Amino acid sequence: MPRPIQATIHTAAVQHNLARARRAAVDANVWAVVKANAYGHGIERVFDALRAADGFALLDLSEAERIRQLGWRGPVLLLEGVFEPRDLETCSRLNLWHAVHCDQQIDWLAAHKTQAPHRVFLKMNSGMNRLGFTPERYRAAWARLNALTQVDEIGFITHFSDADGPRGIDHQLQVFLETTQDLPGERTVSNSAAMLLRGREDDVRCDWVRAGIVLYGSSPDYPQRTIADWELEPTMTLSGRLIGVQHLQKGDTVGYGSTYTAQAPMTIGVVTCGYADGYPRHCGTGTPVLVDGVRTQLVGRVSMDMLTVDLTHVPGAVMGSEVTLWGKASNGAVLPVDEVAQAAGTVGYELMCALAARVPVVVD
């Protein structure tokens, strides 16, 4: 039989989370963000569940091609725009909208020969300091774009650096609104965190919201709020099985580096999952795990193909027992990916995106 590990994609949960995003954004159009192969879920696997979105936002032309091949005829937005002049030909062929964040992209558009003008979103660097024109240069960039016959409608986009934190969004939102207040065109500012926290405010909601991690069952402001607080459902389950049971005496150690020492006689289980499957190596003793739907903890160091868990409080566990590394157990118990990510010192996004290619994926 194949090695007993798999990831399960819960498409009903994806649909539920999209509906939740719509409720948060009231009447705004919703971009379903499917970059990074739909945050590790697989674009083809979640496409049908996301058909109710108003558009898809992503990074790669290859991903845009896949969306079109699946039959989507609505808006598709390239969040980082094009990377070289010939990409504009693909944008014309696939009817892609694209961000413009630098002078070079405007130069490429000016030299581009096309019969169909492009729909673009002009990116403002309102404080994130990654991509975009500073507020001082923004209107000049708009004027250049507006003068091009190669450009049709111009929208306006920025990205918040602290929507999920105490600093918040007001400092960036104010400069964006002041700079664009009398310019015609659609606006999009909200990521998942801003949408959930402030989506009922007109200036935050704007014309479009960008639903990213909210679609995939992770809380954008964990641990302040959990997915249960936001009424979200887990969309990916990573599960394995017990393939070994060891009975330890006081003083016995576990795994590479002997990082865990038994303080009393105990039973541990060996699980078919390791860092080669995408489970973080730096998850240490105490990281939550479900065995047969019962919460327990990881002990010792995660190795390439295996990890070990405490079975002290799961006396019924045997060879073949189900182990839920994150997601939903067969009995309905939920282990949010955010909890595992916190133990690894990262975010749920990374864990889902890092799912290894060797892990079989099934769609629920």
Q: Which residues participate in catalysis according to the annotation?
A: 35, 256
β-bridge pairing 187-190 and 151-158: parallel
The torsion angle over the Cα atoms of residues 72, 76, 82 and 86, rounded to 10 degrees, is: 40
Cβ count near 222 (within 10 Å)? 21
β-bridge pairing 288-291 and 322-328: antiparallel
Lookup: tokens for 333: 């118990």
- Secondary structure element (H or E) that encloses residue 105, with its range: helix 103-111
- In SS3 terms, 63-110 reads as HHHHHHHCCCCCCEEECCCCCCCCHHHHHHHHCCEEEECCHHHHHHHH
Lookup: tokens for 209: 């919201």
β-bridge pairing 55-58 and 76-78: parallel
